[in-house]
Amino acid sequence: MSDLLAARSQMAMSLGFHILFAAVGIGMPLLMVIAEGLYLRTKDPVYLLLAKKWSKGTAVLFAIGAVSGTVLSFELGLLWPKFMAQYGSVIGMPFSMEGFAFFLEAIFLGIYMYGWKRVPAIVHLLSGVAVLFSGIFSGLFVICANGFMNTPAGFRIEDGKIVDIDPWAAMFNPAALAEGLHMTTAAFLSVAFLVAGIHAFMLLKDSKNPFHRAALGIALAVAAPMSVLQGATGHMAGETVGETQPVKLAAMEAHWETERWAPFRIGGWPDVERQETRYAIEIPGLMSFLSYGDPNAEVKGLKDFPKELHPPVPVVHVSFQIMIGAGVFMMAVAGMGVALGLWKRKLPDSPWFLKAVILASPMGMIAIEAGWVVTEVGRQPWIIQGVLKTADAVTPMPGLWAPFLAFSLLYLFLGATVVVLMINLVKHSPTFDENEA
């Protein structure tokens, strides 16, 4: 394994691990705040119990998110010191804001988790709201920095030197907004489905349990609008990629020829040797329309770009397909839930629907992982699009397979422990009798 590949793998693995917990850190506070708000309004103890149980699980996941995020903040320098030395200060603005957002998140999470009896009810609820918003902004700021890597802005290069740094322009780069919104809705959607799936699973065995019914209701109420927003923000992100990173768009769609009426491909396997994509279902003009609002618009194909600037097309295309598929599936399940709920005027709880929710449960997290693969692998060979190659940014440190292996084992071990712990937590969720008593 080359050092560059080891560094890339370590970064990918660290990001892939952290993003799951980061999403939980954004999504769970919303669910907890809703549950607690409902308790304060209705005084129904089930909601209080729910808020407390959810916060118990969140405490563990948040801790893992905080420490794995710390790892990332160091890894930028440990693995990509050349990137940092040159562009660290250009993209520093969102990172310094993120520092504060994360600080507030940790402070108010402490108050939320351990302050149930120490602060007044309304202060407690507001602490939850503070966690929610600092979590959202924390994510948005980090994504501004990622947007910079995709659409660098706010500086000029003169005689090999970076001059005229405008940190605000760097922060509000063209990709920042679309990416930020897409990821924020993704966090809410995936967490809502994850939670809905867990409680749906429990309801299959214990269909009258008011605790799980309340939980499923809240989770679905968040999932439904988010699944629609997810499509909208995804469309926005797609358009931005089309405007700013045409190679990435072409790789996502496994699109080789520059043409009008470019088709949207469902499935298919890109053959890099022959530069064609086989076995795909093609919907003519849809890609042109989705990317540029006009089915007759010309979409650039991969053949128009030098081969050495192509990202690994199969990885990007397949990941993109997984993301879209998972998103459509979640939207369908959420739509069914809304239809069933409106029709029967009660929580949709038929066993087949609960099973569909369970099936959709991991889809959000899978889509998040796939989406990050699209963004990051789709930008290769660049670490900053068109400006700095990944290979030129890597640390001179030899033997990088060692930290990669060590962190992989560490995260594998932590991941397994978290899963066991969460199963344990779900197993000990309240039964119907306890609620009656």
Question: Considering beta carbons, is residue 166 or 282 the nearer one to another protein?
Answer: 166
Considering only 98, 349, 369, 376, the residue that binds another protein (CB under 8 A) is: 98
Backbone angles phi, psi at 162, to 5 degrees: -85, 120
Question: What's at 308, amino acid-wise?
Answer: E
Considering only 12, 13, 40, 66, the residue that binds another protein (CB under 8 A) is: 66
Q: Which of residues 168-207 bind another protein (CB under 8 A)?
A: 168
Binding mask 5-44 for another protein (x = CB under 8 A): ----------------------------------------
Regarding 60 and contact with another protein (CB under 8 A), the answer is yes
Print burial letters for 183-193: b (CB count within 10 Å at least 16), e (below 16).
bbbbbbbbbbb
Cβ 321 to another protein shortest distance, Å: 33
Question: Considering beta carbons, is residue 114 or 339 the nearer one to another protein?
Answer: 114
**Distance (Å, rounded) from C-alpha 195 to C-alpha 190?**
9
The residue with tokens 């939207």 is: 331
Considering only 62, 137, 320, 382, the residue that binds another protein (CB under 8 A) is: 62
Please, where are the H alpha helices in 206-312? Answer: 210-244, 246-252, 286-292
- Whether residue 254 contacts residue 313, with contact meaning beta carbons closer than 8 Å, is answered with yes
The residue among 19, 8, 2, 10 whose CA lies nearest residue 410 is 10
Element (H, E) at 431: none
Contact stretch for another protein (CB under 8 A) within 96-104, 314-322, 347-355, 356-364: 96-104
Regarding 276 and contact with another protein (CB under 8 A), the answer is no
Regarding 129 and contact with another protein (CB under 8 A), the answer is no
Q: Helices then strands (H, E): number in the chain?
A: 16, 6
201-210 long-range Cβ contacts below 8 angstroms, 24+ apart: 201/354, 201/358, 201/361, 201/426, 202/426, 202/429, 203/349, 203/354, 204/351, 204/354, 204/355, 204/358, 206/431, 206/432, 207/349, 208/432, 209/430, 209/431, 209/432, 209/435, 210/46, 210/432, 210/435
Question: What's at 256, amino acid-wise?
Answer: W
Regarding 417 and contact with another protein (CB under 8 A), the answer is yes
Regarding 121 and contact with another protein (CB under 8 A), the answer is no
Question: Considering beta carbons, is residue 92 or 430 the nearer one to another protein?
Answer: 92
Contact stretch for another protein (CB under 8 A) within 193-201, 299-307, 309-317, 413-421: 413-421
Considering only 12, 40, 113, 359, the residue that binds another protein (CB under 8 A) is: 113
Considering only 3, 9, 89, 303, the residue that binds another protein (CB under 8 A) is: 89
Regarding 68 and contact with another protein (CB under 8 A), the answer is yes
Regarding 71 and contact with another protein (CB under 8 A), the answer is yes
Number of residues in contact with another protein under rule CB under 8 A:
61
Considering only 88, 325, 386, 430, the residue that binds another protein (CB under 8 A) is: 88
DSSP secondary structure code for residue 157 in this structure? E
Contact stretch for another protein (CB under 8 A) within 24-32, 66-74, 208-216, 223-231: 66-74
Regarding 383 and contact with another protein (CB under 8 A), the answer is no
- Whether residue 269 contacts residue 278, with contact meaning beta carbons closer than 8 Å, is answered with yes
Regarding 344 and contact with another protein (CB under 8 A), the answer is no
Regarding 126 and contact with another protein (CB under 8 A), the answer is no
- Whether residue 276 contacts residue 343, with contact meaning beta carbons closer than 8 Å, is answered with no
**Distance (Å, rounded) from C-alpha 306 to C-alpha 326?**
32
Regarding 412 and contact with another protein (CB under 8 A), the answer is no
Regarding 156 and contact with another protein (CB under 8 A), the answer is no
Contact stretch for another protein (CB under 8 A) within 214-222, 255-263, 327-335, 395-403: 395-403
The residue with tokens 């940092």 is: 84
Angle (deg, nearest 10), helices 401-427 and 3-42: 20
Tokens of 222: 């968040």
Interface residues with another protein (CB under 8 A) are 59-60, 62-64, 66-68, 70-71, 73-74, 76-78, 81-82, 84-86, 88-90, 92-93, 95-100, 102-104, 106-111, 113-115, 118-119, 130, 165-168, 395-397, 403, 406, 410, 414, 417, 421, 424-425
